[in-house]
């Protein structure tokens, strides 16, 4: 790869000296400058270096880099040698002369930034590495007064340098670094001091470097605390200072310090280093300059205030004293415009001066404090927002240092008592509040809150009053008052609570700040607040939110006190409220939460306390009485209009009242281990269930409660309630929740009697298992009544499901095995016959539906062939399409037309033919039913498809059902017929009963359609005679037509009767059966000997025409089969059919007016097929004349309603025009010419 020459020049200008190395790096990096720099900086030649755990290359023989994880809350270095470096990096050798010639080494800066600003940072600390090289370059630039002129140097000073020293001096890992790393950091500090001293040689002062000086000279950094025991070499610095300053006087020395203080030798060394670089002289010159500002003095004095203990007295007198005096003068004479500056560092300046005076002129410290407090007072009193914010921030610092007991903070603190005294004398809180206009600012409110919390118990009544009145215009002050409430003395707190009560009464709790008022009282955390909150909740005219909020706050305070006498006191008040019908719902809710709070302690203590409370106040009796009174009062006010959302007081609904009362009763019974007496249960039953004033809401609430509290009732109470009340309850009052309650009692009471067993879910088995051990179940007659007489669909379905469980699904295997199964089925059938004779039409429908469900369920496991096929398997059902694909053999998917009554065995035979399979027993079919894949095989052969779940989608009847055929290598074993087992099936038992068919036929005659579904699951009736009095639209006629399919010999006997049935009174389903039945009879008989009934063809045509408006799939199929049968009648030529009376009208109805495309296409294709036969030459002109005479719709361009109807008809004319075009093509030339001539003549007449 060729190296880009311009990139080579760029890297050379960055300070990389070797052109060969640059070219090699660019080749490796594919001319990417950033990657090339990384290669040059981190030379990774494998023979010389290896990589450490952080991914940086390292020379294990010469550690040269302090690599420490980034200081975060989750990063630490543990284990190993505490003195070892966490990681060792490779040396970066930089050619200093080349870097100097280049001005500033950009490559070194990039390398330093890459290792500093990362999660696992590594900062080089040796003299020939990037940090030192950059500092030395900056020192040279500062010496030439060009530091700010170099962009990269400024970037280094502002960004990388502060980050490096912040991590090196304050990292939590400082104490774990090895000795050579500690010494390397000390060397870097010396280079930093040289840089700062050189930069002080000209103005303006560099703020960033002076902040670094404060960091480097701060004895509280982790690095200086690590080396605080080291001492400085006094003789070394005497010689050094003699050389540089011609003086042996030390600027800092460990021997000058108190014996009880740490020597801080490294820090003393740095101070002397600063002096040897003429830093103090330059600093003094800058501070004495006429244009020196407050910020300049702050940057100059603050670093030495931090290390004042290490600075010598002579140094202060000669270099810092005059600057401190000038600083105090400047701070005293600041103007209003100066105070509003955000970048003003006057307090930093005063802090530095104060620290120096504490060390050298302690009598002048009070002057610093006086200047500081005066400035804060002036700022707070100023009308400018910035100035006030600066004052609040400084006051916050003063309060924080006054409360901090640490020695470092204590040196900067005025003192707690003096500060409090000054704040009271100067009314600092009033100054901070001002006129209240700026208190909407969150920072301002936080500052005021700090002041209030600091003053605490010394807040005066006037201060509280002022805060209260200002809070109404500035709601953000309410949290300030709340913070002070818990610290206020009794008299001041009482005054505040009086203000709250007065405001609450005046506004009726409707003020915008009502929630803040409640919170304010709650945070007072005094016993007096409990009484005030209780009185606030009882103020008249309050809304729901206000009452709930006040009582929640009251309850929170009461829980915090945890005093038993207080709990009893307010428990008594709640009971009194309930009895007096005052705040009933809030009182019950309060009582509920008060009882619930007992569960936080020991269980036995909570149980005993709850028992004691119930006995002392008769809680259950009070609650039951409250339920009855409330229900009676609601009915008196609302009457028949009483519902769930009815409300007596406008706050709480009727449903909420009931549920809360019942929940509390349940909680007391359950947690106190109490049983509810029979009297109380019957009182609630009468009020909420059987009473004339009870509503559905009442019943649902109580039914749900009975289920939850079943175990809280005694056995006798349960049984009597079920026997004498539940089983006598009006069916109309049983809601879906009521049925769930009945079922629960039904199961539990029969379980107690040994009639059934219940296995509850466990961690191993998540299903609840019910097993019926005895068929005589207590309450089953009422269950039948619910099923047959309930008007609620949900109750009807649930009762059906429960009856199936009791009669078959959950019956013990012992009662289903062998001859016991016969008795089981006969018992069910006898019960069904009994209820069929005793019930009306609605009950009859229910019994038949249950019978149908029972037959499907009980016979679903039968796996043998049936000698007597089901009735539904003998006639065609609903048409549908199967889309079948197959992997073995591999072939494309194909569609198969089937119907819902086709047995799976017949379907296997059709699939075997379609797949060229030698045996149908090898064919299996996988289908998805209700989201579950089922594999159908030999055991399903006798079942019709609809019993296997295969039905067309009612929303998309033409959509095919997906299926996957599977061919086994061997034949599946066939399921032989077993006459004994088949005779024991409930369908055969029912068919052999002499009562069955007469009863079901009577139901059909009465229009009970559920009987047809039961007949489909039985063998065919042996007597399908069509009675003379049978109406055409009767379901019994449909059944009789179905029976003829299994008895084709009866078709000729009843053919004449079929012709007499009026088509317009037949249903599409019946017409479908007529068409199939005639087609089947015609195809089965000998055409030479067959005599068709008179008018059969005309009747079939009339039947087809009657379906012109059908849109149902069964109607379309019926029309198609009738037309096919009509054109296939033996002895009838197509010309005879076309010449039938009414054919032209039927042609218009079915070819143009019919909305079904399937019907139109069927008729068009039938006519085209007949035209194509050579024995009908006269058919073409006949059809031409008929089609020409049809009144087709025309396009209307103006009248919208007519045009829309005409457009619908025109859209149906596609088959008409296709048929006419095909007829023209088949016409002889003379006939075509004659037709054209007629067309021209007609056009001329039209003109």
Which tens digit of pLDDT belongs to each residue from 654-712?
999 999 999 999 999 998 888 999 999 999 999 999 888 889 999 999 999 999 999 99
SS (H, E, C) 840-890: CHHHHHHHHHHHHHHHHHHCCCCCCCCCCCCHHHHCCCCEEEEEEEECCCC
- Choose among 862, 877, 956: nearest CA to 1114: 877
* pLDDT band for position 77 (cuts 50, 70, 90): very low
Q: Which residues pair with 933 in a beta bridge?
A: 928
Residue 1060: the pLDDT is 63
For residue 389, whether the previous peptide bond is cis, meaning omega lies within 30 degrees of 0, is no
Rounded CA separation 1047/1020 (Å): 9
Q: Kindly report the pTM of this predicted structure.
A: 0.64
Reply yes or no on whether the pLDDT at 634 is more than 60: yes
* pLDDT band for position 1048 (cuts 50, 70, 90): low
Tell me the mean pLDDT in the region 565-576.
89
Rounded CA separation 491/465 (Å): 13
- DSSP H or E segment with residue 505: helix 490-507
- Choose among 692, 698, 689: nearest CA to 722: 689
For the chain, the domains span 1-41, 51-72+85-199, 570-639+653-713, 871-977, 1024-1242
Q: pLDDT tens across 813-846, in order?
A: 888 887 788 888 899 999 998 888 776 666 788 8
Phi first, then psi, for residue 20 (nearest 5°) are -65, -45
CB 1184 within 8 A of CB 1227: yes
Q: pLDDT tens across 615-627, in order?
A: 888 999 999 999 9
The rounded mean pLDDT for the chain is 79
> How far, in whole angstroms, is CA 173 from its chain's centroid?
43
Give the residue with greater pLDDT, 559 vs 718: 718
Q: pLDDT tens across 911-947, in order?
A: 888 888 877 777 888 888 777 778 887 778 788 888 8
Which top CATH class is 871-977? alpha beta
Residue 411: the pLDDT is 66
Give the residue with greater pLDDT, 600 vs 510: 600
Structure tokens given for 970: 């061997």
CB 204 within 8 A of CB 287: no
* pLDDT band for position 1041 (cuts 50, 70, 90): confident
Q: pLDDT tens across 1176-1210, in order?
A: 666 777 777 777 777 766 544 544 455 555 666 66
Structure tokens given for 196: 């700062």
SS (H, E, C) 1016-1043: HCCCCCCCCCCCCCCCCCCHHHHHHHHH
Tell me the mean pLDDT in the region 333-360.
86
Reply yes or no on whether the pLDDT at 1066 is more than 90: no
Tell me the mean pLDDT in the region 708-736.
92
- Interhelix angle 179-199/130-143, rounded to 10 degrees, is 20
Rounded CA separation 317/608 (Å): 79
Looking at residue 496, the DSSP 8-state letter turns out to be H
Residue 717: the pLDDT is 92
Reply yes or no on whether the pLDDT at 229 is more than 90: no
Rounded CA separation 292/964 (Å): 94
What is the sign, positive or negative, of the torsion defined by CA atoms of 19, 21, 27, 32?
negative
Looking at residue 948, the DSSP 8-state letter turns out to be G
Residue 700: the pLDDT is 93
Reply yes or no on whether the pLDDT at 70 is more than 50: no
CATH number 1.10.8 given to 1-41? yes
User: Looking at 174-178, 285-289, 487-491, 641-645, which range is the least confident one?
Assistant: 487-491
Tell me the mean pLDDT in the region 213-241.
88
Reply yes or no on whether the pLDDT at 11 is more than 70: yes
Cα 272 to Cα 221, 241, 1046, distances in angstroms? 19, 8, 121
Length of the chain: 1247
């Amino acid at each position: 790869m060729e190296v880009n020459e311009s990139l080579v020049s760029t890297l050379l200008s960055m300070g990389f000296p070797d052109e060969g190395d640059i070219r090699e790096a660019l080749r490796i990096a594919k001319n990417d400058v950033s990657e090339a720099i990384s290669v040059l900086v981190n030379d990774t030649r494998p023979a010389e270096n290896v990589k450490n755990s952080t991914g940086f290359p390292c020379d294990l023989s010469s550690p040269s880099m302090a690599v420490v994880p980034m200081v975060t809350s989750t990063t630490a270095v543990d284990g190993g040698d505490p003195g070892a470096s966490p990681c060792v990096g490779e040396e970066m050798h930089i050619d200093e002369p080349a870097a100097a010639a280049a001005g500033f080494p950009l490559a070194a800066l990039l390398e330093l930034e890459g290792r500093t600003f990362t999660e696992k940072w590594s900062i080089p600390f040796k003299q020939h590495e990037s940090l030192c090289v950059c500092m030395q370059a900056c020192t040279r630039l500062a010496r030439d007064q060009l530091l700010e002129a170099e962009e990269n140097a400024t970037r280094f000073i502002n960004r990388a340098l502060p980050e490096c020293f912040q991590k090196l001096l304050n990292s939590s890992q400082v104490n774990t670094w090895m000795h050579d790393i500690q010494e390397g950091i000390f060397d870097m500090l010396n280079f930093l001091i040289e840089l700062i001293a050189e930069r002080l040689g000209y103005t303006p002062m560099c703020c960033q470097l002076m902040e670094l000086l404060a960091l480097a000279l701060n004895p509280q950094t982790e690095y200086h605390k690590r080396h605080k025991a080291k001492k400085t070499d006094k003789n070394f610095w005497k010689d050094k200072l003699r050389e540089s300053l011609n003086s042996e006087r030390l600027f800092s020395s460990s021997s000058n310090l108190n014996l009880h203080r740490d020597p801080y030798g490294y820090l003393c060394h740095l101070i002397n280093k600063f002096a040897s670089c003429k830093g103090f002289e330059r600093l003094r010159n800058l501070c004495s300059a006429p244009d020196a500002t407050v910020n300049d003095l702050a940057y100059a004095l603050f670093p030495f205030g931090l290390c004042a203990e290490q600075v010598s007295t002579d140094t202060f007198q000669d270099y810092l004293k005059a600057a401190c005096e000038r600083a105090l003068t400047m701070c005293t004479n600041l103007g209003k415009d100066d105070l509003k500056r955000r970048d003003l560092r006057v307090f930093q300046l005063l802090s530095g001066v104060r620290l120096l005076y504490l060390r050298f002129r302690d009598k002048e410290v009070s002057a610093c404090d006086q200047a500081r407090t005066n400035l804060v007072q002036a700022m707070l009193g100023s009308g400018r927002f910035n100035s006030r914010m600066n004052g609040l921030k400084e006051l916050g610092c003063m309060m924080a240092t006054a409360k901090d007991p640490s020695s470092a903070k204590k040196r900067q603190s005025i003192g707690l008592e003096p500060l409090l005294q000054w704040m009271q004398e100067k009314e600092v809180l009033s100054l901070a509040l001002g006129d209240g206009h700026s208190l909407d600012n969150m920072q301002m409110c936080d500052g005021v809150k700090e002041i209030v919390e600091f003053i605490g118990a010394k807040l005066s009544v006037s201060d509280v009053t002022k805060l209260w009145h200002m809070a109404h215009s500035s709601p953000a002050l309410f949290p300030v008052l709340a913070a002070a409430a818990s610290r206020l003395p009794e008299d001041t707190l009482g005054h505040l609570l009086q203000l709250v009560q007065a405001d609450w009464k005046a506004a009726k709790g409707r003020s915008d700040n009502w929630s803040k008022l409640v919170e304010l009282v709650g945070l007072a955390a005094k016993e007096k607040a409990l009484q005030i909150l209780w009185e606030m909740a009882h103020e008249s005219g309050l809304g729901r939110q206000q009452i709930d909020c006040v009582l929640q706050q009251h309850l929170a305070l009461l829980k915090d006190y945890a005093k038993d006498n207080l709990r009893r006191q307010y428990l008594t008040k709640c009971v009194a409220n309930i009895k007096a019908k005052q705040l009933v719902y809030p009182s019950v809710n309060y009582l509920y939460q008060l009882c619930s709070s007992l569960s936080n302690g020991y269980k036995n203590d909570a149980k005993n306390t709850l028992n004691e409370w119930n006995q002392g106040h008769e809680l259950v009796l009070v609650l039951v009485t409250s339920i009855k009174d409330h229900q009676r009062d609601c009915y008196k006010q609302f009457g028949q209009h009483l519902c769930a959302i009815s409300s007596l007081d406008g706050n709480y609904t009727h449903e909420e009242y009931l549920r809360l009362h019942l929940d509390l009763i349940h909680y007391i019974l359950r947690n106190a281990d109490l049983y509810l007496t029979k009297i109380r249960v019957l009182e609630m039953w009468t009020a909420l269930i059987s009473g004339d004033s009870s509503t559905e809401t009442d019943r649902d609430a109580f039914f749900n409660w009975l289920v939850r509290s079943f175990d809280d009732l005694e056995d006798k109470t349960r049984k009597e309630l079920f026997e004498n009340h539940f089983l006598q309850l009006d069916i109309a009052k049983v809601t879906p929740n009521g049925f769930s309650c009945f079922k629960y009692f039904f199961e539990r009471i029969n379980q107690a009697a040994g009639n059934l067993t219940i296995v509850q879910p466990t961690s191993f088995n998540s299903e609840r298992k019910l097993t019926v051990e005895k068929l005589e179940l207590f309450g089953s007659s009422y269950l039948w009544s619910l099923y047959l007489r309930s008007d609620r669909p949900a109750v009807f379905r649930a009762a059906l499901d429960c009856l199936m469980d009791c009669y078959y699904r959950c019956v013990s295997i012992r009662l289903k095995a062998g001859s016991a199964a016969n008795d089981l089925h006969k018992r069910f059938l006898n019960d069904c016959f009994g209820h069929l004779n005793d019930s009306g039409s609605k009950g009859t429908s229910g019994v038949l539906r249950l019978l149908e469900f029972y037959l499907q369920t009980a016979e679903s496991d039968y796996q043998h062939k049936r000698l007597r096929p089901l009735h539904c398997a003998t006639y065609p059902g609903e048409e549908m399409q199967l889309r079948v694909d197959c992997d073995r053999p591999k072939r494309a998917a194909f569609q198969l037309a089937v119907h819902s009554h086709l047995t799976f065995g017949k379907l296997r035979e059709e699939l075997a033919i379609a797949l060229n399979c030698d045996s149908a027993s090898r064919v299996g079919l996988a289908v998805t039913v209700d989201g579950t894949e089922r594999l159908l095989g030999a055991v399903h052969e006798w079942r019709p498809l609809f019993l296997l779940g295969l039905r067309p989608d009612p929303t998309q009847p033409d959509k095919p059902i997906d299926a996957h055929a599977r061919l086994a290598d061997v034949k599946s074993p066939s399921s032989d017929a077993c006459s004994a087992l088949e005779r024991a099936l409930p369908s055969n038992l029912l068919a052999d009963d002499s009562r069955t068919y007469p009863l079901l036929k009577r139901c059909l005659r009465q229009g009970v359609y559920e009987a047809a579904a039961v007949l489909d699951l039985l063998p065919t009736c042996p007597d399908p005679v069509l009675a003379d009095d049978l109406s055409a639209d009767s379901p019994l006629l449909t059944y009789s037509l179905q029976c003829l399919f299994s008895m084709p010999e009866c078709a000729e006997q009843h053919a004449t009767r079929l012709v007499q049935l009026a088509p317009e009174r037949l249903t599409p389903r019946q017409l479908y059966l007529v068409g199939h039945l005639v087609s089947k009879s015609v195809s089965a008989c000998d055409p030479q000997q067959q005599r068709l009934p008179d008018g059969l063809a005309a009747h079939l045509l009339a039947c087809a025409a009657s379906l012109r408006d059908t849109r149902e799939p069964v109607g379309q199929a019926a029309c198609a089969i009738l037309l096919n049968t009509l054109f296939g009648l033996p002895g009838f030529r197509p010309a005879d059919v076309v010449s039938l009376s009414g054919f032209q009208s039927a042609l218009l109805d079915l070819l143009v007016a019919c909305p079904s495309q399937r019907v139109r296409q069927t008729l068009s294709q039938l006519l085209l097929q007949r035209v194509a036969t050579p024995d009908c030459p006269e058919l073409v002109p006949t059809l031409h004349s008929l089609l020409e005479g049809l009144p087709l719709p025309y396009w209307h361009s103006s009248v919208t309603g007519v045009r829309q109807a005409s457009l619908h008809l025109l859209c149906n004319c596609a088959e008409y025009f296709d048929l006419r075009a095909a007829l023209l093509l088949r016409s002889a030339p003379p006939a075509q010419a004659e037709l054209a001539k007629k067309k021209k003549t007609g056009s001329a007449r039209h003109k």
